[in-house]
A and B are shown apart, each in its own frame.
Chain A
Amino acid sequence: MDERTSLSRRKLLHTLAGTGVIAAADLAWWDAPYIGPRKAWGAEPVRFQWSVPEPTRIALMNSLAERFNQSQKDFAVQIEYVPQAQARQKLISSITGGSPPDLCQVWDNWVGQFNGMGAVEDISARAKSWKHYADVAPTAWQTVTINNQIISLPLAVTLDGIYYRTDRLKELGLKEPTPDWTWDEFLGIAKAFTKADKNQYGYGMRGGGTWALLYPSEFAYANGAEVLKDGKVVINSKEAVDALAWYLDLALKHKVTPPSAATDGFVEIVETFGRGVTSMYQHNSGSSGQQKKNVGADKFATLPLPIGPANKRASFWFSETLTMFKGAKNKEGAWQFMSFMLEDEPSLKYNSTLGLLPARQSILKQPEFANDPALAGFVNSFGIGIVSPYLAYPGWGGKIDSDGVPLIQQAILGKISPKDCLDRFADILKKEMS
């Protein structure tokens, strides 16, 4: 027997004891937070979940929270950063577990579902007596109003427009399109931009994520179609089918879209434009800051969506909101922070750093937003903005993700016809209309 490798009984028992003790010990000396705003004595904590952590935003939010904490002694905001992909899961789990954060930053399409769960606090009273209530655009309020109750505060609003490469347009010797451009002009420019052998494509079509379905819906509105009419689902009307057919032809017939279109989500369409693979794409103002870094501020600009055959067009409002939960322990503190974020300076700093548009009209008029060509397309779209019709029912959001997106992906791949796609989608929507 090899004595060296034998383990004495004593040693084994000691290890066991050690493990147990260490595992059970309260590691107080390591518990002190390493970073984060310092708490004032006696300040009530406000738990705030932030769902888009990335270095720029983290630094920005930390400094805004610090300013808030220092500007008053009653409340101290603690920010919890949750990576985007897990943010929704975590919110749902903490709501069902009975301990939601006091406040969270989410998008308007999530709020409807949370409200349906009965988790969101009604802030109509607070909002209406707020000093800046009238300054926020009515359509912005509409995105956060359900059943005449205001359930959340819009932090930033945006809508969809088209980004395009101005330098490539010049190279091709084409005329710069006006904000009133039409579908035909759009198609013409997309075709001119497409050089498959050089790995350049005209339009970065989106096939992944909720908005893969919403972008063609916006085009459908330009053809005179609607989603809901008189309370009935008409997403599969003739005008909508024709519009979808035209939209899909971009990929199937004219081939102005890259081969990855069917699964490209927003990260991909932003990145492919940023790398010069696509020369146009549809998105909200949120990625304008990113493109200034990727492509260069002087090489691109934005336009509203093109006018369709019915001489109409529409763009869906989309807002980033601050939402308070019913189960919050510190509602007053949460409200104080929410209204702080919409004060002049914080709102200006937040929106201009991230390329978003402030919900308050007086701030929107500032030169940072009014004079920026990258934001021009969106500012010019305010007249055609409508609240997304898909916010009408809380059940629609989830169904779009789980059932609607696979349908549009199949349509982009040419496996089902536009009519088939919309008929089936209409059925899905009708089922969730309770």
Chain B
Amino acid sequence: MTTLSLAKPRPRPLISWRVRKLLIGYSYLVPAALCMLATVVVPIILAIKMSLYADVLYKPADYRFIGLGNYVRLVQDPVFWLTLWNSVVWVFGSVILQFVFGFAAALLLQQAFRGRALVRTLTLLPWIIPGVVVGLIWQWLYQPNYGVINDLLIRAGWMHERLAWLSSPDTAMAAVVFANVWRGIPFFAIMLLAGLQSVPDELYEAAHVDGAGVLARFWHITLPLLRPIIVVATATRIIWTFNYADLIFVMTGGGPANATQITSTYTLLQAYSSLDFGYAGALSVVLLVVMLVFTALYLRVTKGVEETA
């Protein structure tokens, strides 16, 4: 439907086209950037400064610059390394499962069937509730004495003894990951569902005509075209989950005996229980650096948001 038309001769602009393009690009970013600066960047810089001081709130007389003192303490703190390991388990366990099940959900919800709108809405629900309330609900479900999970499992005959899911170091982490997966599947389902819509039908048809089966079409067409969205969704989700303290805080408080203590809940504890803001600042900065490095590498390896084809 493209009609050939002569390009209209453009008058010589005052500013060169190149610079103009640049300015337009930047102007699109200004509102976002301003807000970032005011509400996030400045507090982060303040927190970095905080980490260089011995800042225990109830010892104001001891407040002084100690340079890397908090960081040295961090490196020597066995609980910190434990929380780092727990964080890795927590993040990758949750995100991988959320991604796999979310993708499956997106594929399912893409099919045309009666009542699709309703099913899509229902599967969105776990995401809507505030994290703290999700924690309370799952804590109640996991309750060994009057929780639904134990009750159903025993009635079905699959278990004979009541298991204290959140009180046993062996099962606590798996239990909180499970609750997190429940909460996070809708995120991937929606993101990937939106992404799936932009894959043109013709490509599938052409491949079908060429004799490619369902799995081959999925592997060679869907995945590559979805790559930018998969990378964005997983990267943002990984970062978000690293910092997500609410669920664990409510369900186990980091226990039992630090079995579910992740670095961000440990930071919270240092800040608001021990009132050691210097150490908490150092923990946050380290976490920030770890995630920056990880993200940079992740984007490079997956070729990030480079455009497809």
Contact = CB atoms under 8 A, between A and B. Distances in A.
> In their complex, do chains A and B touch, with some C-beta pair under 8 Å?
yes
Interface of A: 85, 88-89, 92, 96, 112-118, 199, 207-209, 258-265, 268, 272, 275, 277, 394-395, 397-399, 401-402, 405-407, 409-410, 413, 415, 434
Among B132, B253, B254, the one with the most A-chain Cβ atoms within 10 Å of its Cβ is B253
Contacts of B172: 263
A398 B269 CA distance: 8
A381 B151 CA distance: 39
A113 B58 contact: yes
Interface string B253-297: 111111001000000011011111100000000000000000000
The 7 closest A-B pairs by CB, nearest first: A116-B58, A398-B274, A259-B164, A401-B273, A263-B167, A410-B257, A260-B164
12 contacts: A88-B272, A117-B275, A259-B162, A260-B144, A260-B167, A262-B257, A263-B164, A264-B167, A265-B253, A275-B146, A406-B261, A410-B256
Contact of A401 (B57, B163, B269): B269
Contacts of B95: none
A272 B253 contact: no
Contact of B145 (A207, A208, A258, A399): A258
Nearest to B145: A277
Contacts of A114: 58
B57 A117 contact: yes
B169 interface: yes
A413 B256 contact: yes
A89 B167 contact: no
A398 B60 contact: no
A398 B273 contact: yes
A263 B145 contact: no
Contacts of B269: 401-402
A395 B255 CA distance: 21
Interface string B139-171: 000011110000000000000001110111100
A200 to B, nearest CB: 10
A85 B132 contact: yes
Contacts of A88: 272
B163 A406 contact: no
B162 A263 contact: no
Contacts of A413: 168-169, 256-257
B198 to A, nearest CB: 15
Given A92-B275, A116-B57, A395-B58, A258 B144 contact: yes
A357 B59 CA distance: 33
Contacts of A258: 144-145, 164
A407 B258 CA distance: 9
Nearest to B268: A89
> Secondary structure of the A side of the interface?
helix
A260 B145 contact: yes
B275 A262 contact: no
Contacts of B51: none
A416 B275 CA distance: 28
B255 A405 contact: yes
B241 interface: no
Nearest to A201: B145
A258 B162 CA distance: 10
B87 interface: no
B59 A434 contact: yes
B252 interface: yes
A114 B59 CA distance: 10
Nearest to B251: A263
A268 B132 CA distance: 17
A262 B256 CA distance: 7
A140 B258 CA distance: 35
Interface in B52-101: 56-60
Contacts of B57: 92, 96, 113, 116-117
A409 to B, nearest CB: 4
A24 B275 CA distance: 36
A429 B274 CA distance: 13
Contact of A263 (B256, B272, B274): B256
A198 B185 CA distance: 38
B60 A117 contact: yes
A391 B274 CA distance: 14
A398 B275 contact: yes
Nearest to A265: B253
Given A398-B273, A409-B257, 7 more contacts: A117-B57, A258-B164, A259-B168, A262-B164, A275-B145, A398-B274, A413-B168
A88 B195 CA distance: 43
Contact of B163 (A85, A259, A405, A415): A259
A399 B274 contact: yes
A406 B144 contact: no
Given A113-B275, A116-B59, A413-B257, A277 B146 contact: yes
B106 to A, nearest CB: 23
B168 to A, nearest CB: 8
B167 A406 contact: no
Nearest to B274: A398
A12 B250 CA distance: 43
A402 B261 CA distance: 11
Contacts of B250: 85
Contacts of A85: 132, 250
Contacts of A405: 255
Contacts of B164: 258-260, 262-263
Given A259-B144, A260-B145, A275-B145, A406 B58 contact: no
A272 B172 CA distance: 20
A147 to B, nearest CB: 13
Contacts of A261: 167
A297 B253 CA distance: 32
A410 B274 CA distance: 20
Interface string B229-262: 0000000000000000000001011111110010
